[in-house]
Chains A and B, each alone.
Chain A
Amino acid sequence: MAGYPIRGGVHPDERKLTREITIMRVPTPRRLYLPLKQHIGAPAKPCRVPGEIIHKGALLARSQGNVSAHIHAPCSGHVEDIVHWPAPHPSGLPTKVMVVVNDGKEICEDVSVPVNPFYLRPEVIAERVGLSGIVGLGGATFPAAVKLTLGQSHKTPILIINGCECEPYLTCDDRLMQERTHDVLDGVRILSQALAGPETIIAIEANKPDAIRLMEEAASHYGNIRVMAVPTRYPMGSEKQLIEFVTGRQVPVGKLSADIGVMLHNIATAYAVNRAVREGKPLTSRIVTVSGGAVQRPGNYEVPVGMLISDLLEFCGLKEEPARLIMGGPMMGQAIPHARIPVTKGCNGVLAMSAAEVARRVEHPCIRCASCVDACPIGLSPLTMSAFLKNDKLDAAVDIGLRDCILCGSCSFACPSGIPLAHYFNYGKGELISRAQQQQKDDEIKRLIQDRQVRMERLEKEREEAMARRKAEIAARKAAQAEKEKAAEGGADKAAEAEKAVA
């Protein structure tokens, strides 16, 4: 099957410097900094107190709510503290982080593993995936168990395993497929098992011929799994685009891929699922591509989650002061303000770029060349949308599709005028979120005010009623008194005194 054409896209220089470099384990540093929020959804809640001794793989923080993920210890040692630490975000604003001290003994938690993971019921696989704290490792960090449960509740005849790795520089998935082919494939089989055996397609971009060959060989034994080479084009690895390429269908607006019977998991997620279900090992490390012109020994490293990027870069060596530090790929990754930020579950790359590699950003006026329209994989008019946003017309931008933007950055990449289009859309989306929050706040305030009004009215009414009752009582009493006075003219003084005493 050749696949169905997708719209737009760009062809950045691949710059896969680390394509040939085998995966190498990085020694666990003395201290690890584990953010409690490394996934989409609610932050996990710590279940260890500072000073508590932990083993490798022990549960440190429990998932909270429907969409969340557990966090486990990548080493043995003890919990030192729970502190505020710069988050893996361009702002570098503090987030809650559990600091774990490594004792270097690598004492592991006891685990029970199934004899044959393919004899597990689908629900149990999802449960075990959830207990291992696995999130989407392609970068989206959506809790994998939630996705599997969703797939189980819907009819899911197609499972797509995303091995595209369309971002330049990154090679971690490529190496993973080449070096740990069978583990990856077992993970794919387990995921397939969890969805009751759908048609499984492993999509790999055509620029990874070795990975395609090896995966094809490994998959040839299984009837429902096949490998599909997809054209090398950014953003082929985006969920929506890959689904369209493989199935020819688009996820309707406002719906989930599960609604059209498709589930998508990353190749690295499949690998983590295999380790979790087969060996009972929670997600405490991941493969990270360390690359960029400023790195002395670029490569693909197996890094414990929570390792500071500064420690990682120290291990790899720096040739020069990097012009920009990026977590993730160069197209969608986030620039970070400094290196004292930990590697999280969703971090597939750490790039220390030299000045020559970083894009020039001299903004020129738009010449309406429509490069962005041609590059947009969604079919938006980035030039019009950014013009609206520049003039603070958020609603107009929403009308022409701001919500549909996936922030892939193809438009900014293609723009000859160097306009940071994706930046405008990121801003617009942020505005939408804060507006929604404000709306929620306003609604809440309105509700409180209305409640208060109702309450006040009720109180007022009660008071009036009470007053009316008292007036009635007084009137009744007066009437009674008058009658008494009439009845007993003689003992008036005495009665009046008695009346006073009553009042």
Chain B
Amino acid sequence: MIIPPSSPHIAGPNSVQTVMLLVLLALLPGTMLGIYQFGWPALFLFLITTSSAVLFEAASLKIAGKPVAPYCMDFSALLTGWLLAMTLPPWSPWWIGVLGSFCAIVIGKQVFGGIGQNLFNPAMLARTILLVSYPLQMTTWISPHPFGSPQSPDAAAGWSITTGGIPDLDAVSSASVLGHVRTDLGMGKLLPDILGPIYHPLASAVGTVSGSLGETSAFLFLLGGLFLLAKKIITWHIPLAMLVTVALLATVFSLSNPDHYAGPLYHLLNGGLMLGAFFIATDPVSSPVSAAGKLVFGAGCGVLLFIIRNWGGYPEGMAFAVLLMNAATPLIDHYIKPRIYGHQGTRIGEFFRRQRRGA
């Protein structure tokens, strides 16, 4: 006798594992470029962060009495660690990576009850904790030192940077474009004068600039995001709403005062916006479920990002913007739901339906 299970008897192609793997695949080109850019120390930090994330996950699962292997094999911890590594200064000491992973996996995720239960994006939570606790380490940016270039440290030197710190900081450090602009604007300089020598749109797009691994190549992350869209792992709502909001605000403000506010292209290409819009804000666990809710969420992230970049205390506000909107997600989900078939629905929805029907 066969025990009859319930319908449907067939299932779609996706599993949590394949979803996570595709996201990792989409991240790979940008990550590789970033690691190439900053050499051995970046690679070591990346490996330490990701592996410690997986270890913390395994340990937490063990303590919680959950099956370790199947949950670890869904690659969610690897992805969290990976995303965290993307947001760290590439030559940070090893303990930043380990501590970050601890914050992300244990405090950000497992304390809430594991995968799917966390309110905040674990990687962003960890980055924020690190940034607030270790402002010096978390804002030490270095200029690109690609593999093979004369300034690039070899493996041994790289390892000593990761374990013991950067020997000659002044020789290698370089603020990110966003940081640079922010400092100089604070000193009363005009934007066109600041941007002239440091900002080249092409360099920002390709990624030969200083910053974290995820702040380098806007182009490759855009490409990865489009890949995820094509694979239907993410929907267009959050990234588009976010990018359009930022671009719109930037256009309006730069037109009103070009000496103080940069244009849309500058905002889109610099910092972690592309990574954030396609890989971080779209984290399914901590973002709304409905399409309209996702639009609100994305637009909210965009507005907050723009506010923090221009008027906040930090040059980049991706993590804060995402965390704040994460906190708003339950509220968005409560108020913005799809209309149920045959029910009246809201008046706005009714208006759009009538428009579409052409009646």
Contacts and interface: CB of A to CB of B under 8 A. Distances in A.
Interface of A: 4-5, 7, 10, 12-13, 90, 92, 168, 240, 244, 248, 250-255, 322-326, 330-338, 351, 353, 357-362, 364-371, 373-374, 376-381, 383-384, 400-401, 404, 407, 409, 412-418, 420, 422-423, 426
A422 B6 CA distance: 8
Contact of B6 (A250, A253, A322, A426): A426
5 contacts: A334-B4, A368-B289, A374-B291, A416-B16, A416-B18
A374 B338 CA distance: 10
Closest 5 CB pairs of A and B: A335-B4, A359-B11, A409-B8, A379-B338, A370-B289
Given A253-B342, A412-B11, A422-B6, 15 more contacts: A4-B357, A12-B10, A90-B4, A322-B2, A324-B4, A334-B7, A336-B4, A358-B9, A367-B115, A367-B284, A379-B337, A379-B339, A384-B289, A409-B8, A420-B6
A89 to B, nearest CB: 9
B289 A373 contact: yes
Contact of A331 (B10, B74, B343): B10
Interface in B301-343: 333, 337-343
B23 to A, nearest CB: 11
B187 interface: no
A326 B10 CA distance: 11
A253 B10 contact: no
Question: Taking chain A's interface residues, is the majority helix, strand, or loop, or is none over half, making it mixed?
Answer: loop
B117 A365 contact: yes
Contacts of B342: 240, 250-255, 404
A322 B291 CA distance: 41
B334 to A, nearest CB: 10
B340 A422 contact: no
Interface string B146-187: 000000000000000000000000000000000000000000
Contacts of B284: 367-370
B1 A338 contact: yes
Given A331-B10, A401-B340, A367 B285 contact: yes
A357 B341 contact: no
A267 B92 CA distance: 69
B4 A359 contact: no
Contacts of A250: 341-342
A365 B9 contact: no
A407 B8 CA distance: 9
A90 B2 CA distance: 10
Interface of B: 1-12, 14-16, 18-19, 70, 74, 76, 114-117, 235, 284-291, 333, 337-343, 356-357
Contacts of B337: 379, 381, 400
Contacts of A368: 116, 284-287, 289
A409 B76 CA distance: 26
Contacts of A322: 2
A322 B254 CA distance: 68
Contacts of A417: 15-16, 116
B341 A377 contact: yes
A47 to B, nearest CB: 33
Most buried by A among B9, B11, B12, B288: B9
A365 B8 contact: no
B337 to A, nearest CB: 6
A10 B10 CA distance: 12
Contact of A330 (B8, B18, B287, B357): B8
A415 B2 CA distance: 24
Contacts of B14: 371, 414, 416
B7 A7 contact: no
Most buried by B among A4, A92, A254, A371: A371
B341 A364 contact: no
Nearest to B288: A370
Contacts of B356: 4-5
B12 A374 contact: no
Given A326-B9, A412-B8, A374 B116 contact: no
Nearest to B338: A379
Nearest to B357: A248
Contact of B341 (A240, A360, A409, A426): A240
A402 to B, nearest CB: 10
